[in-house]
Amino acid sequence: MPHYGYETVEENKIFFREAGDPSNPAIVLLHGFPHSSHQYRDLITLLADDFYLIAPDYPGFGASDYPSRDEYTYTFDNIADTVDTFLEQKGVDEYSLFIQDYGAPVGLRIATEHPERVQAIITQNGNVYEEGLNEGAWAPIMQLWEEGRGQNAELEATIAKNVFSLEGLRWQYTHGTRNPDAILPDNWILDHQRLSRPGQHEVQLDLFYDYRNNVAKYPEWQAYLREEQPPVLVVWGKNDAFFPAPGAEAFKRDVKDLDFNLLDTGHFALEEDAELISGKVRAFFAARNID
């Protein structure tokens, strides 16, 4: 059964979910926006018999500490450094990365820093290609990149209203799914509660603005894939409004050992297809004798 704990990293308590025998192959589960390690609750249970799984919450997310913007600079560089230090303190020094949404820029920063530690990558709508950005869905954030943080109050208020509202959050989980009514409402209710904390909108807008630096790093991350050639399992919700299927297809350019799967679901594919994805993970590891 999963268990839970905290690891203090540079004065911030990082919450994590953990399951399985540490002597088994390790999978580090890196969550996306706007959620937390909660998104991996089912996958952890499904894989714990044969794998060691660990899923941290980033600072300001989930049950981890939420330092103020004066105490912690909310950038993907800093979050990746925090997660990297967390793994080192936990003694997790050889692992595969499961990346989704924000998990991609966090995980690829760690992978390029420590390529010798990464055994494989599992990407569930974890994008590293420009064609994987739906310009329509990203248009307001791209406008934010152009105008700068704090330069257009109306734009930032519109983003906050559309993205951080309870209805906007519900849409992110249900859009593109086969059965929207079956998606667990706890997901967006928990997210809305956390995003309603004082200062959270500013923190999340900081990260939206900083996302431009992830796009700038795409060539570096693609070079990592070509040069290091980690095995990659793609389990991609093809109906994702933010990271559409071309982002999945693009991995074919750079990765030789690729297990490619498009799933008929949305951005949070694990909400509908956790059992299917867990089976893909087992088969992927077994075929490559990753231990």
CB 177 within 8 A of CB 183: yes
pLDDT at 188: 98
Known active-site residue 38: no
CB 31 within 8 A of CB 58: yes
pLDDT at 285: 98
The predicted-structure confidence for 229-244, as pLDDT tens digits, reads as follows 999 999 999 999 999 9
CA distance 247 to 253: 11
Tokens representing 220 are: 């570096």
Average pLDDT over residues 254-262: 98
Domains and CATH numbers, the chain: 3-288 (3.40.50.1820)
Tell the residue number behind the tokens 């966090």, with chain if given. Answer: 106
Average pLDDT over residues 204-221: 98
Alpha carbon distances (Å) from 118 to 41, 174, 175, 176: 23, 32, 32, 31
Average pLDDT over residues 197-226: 98
The predicted-structure confidence for 25-50, as pLDDT tens digits, reads as follows 999 999 999 999 999 999 999 999 99
> Residue 245 carries which side chain, given as an amino acid letter?
A
pLDDT at 89: 98
CA distance 179 to 32: 21
Mean pLDDT, the chain, as a whole number?
98
pLDDT at 1: 85
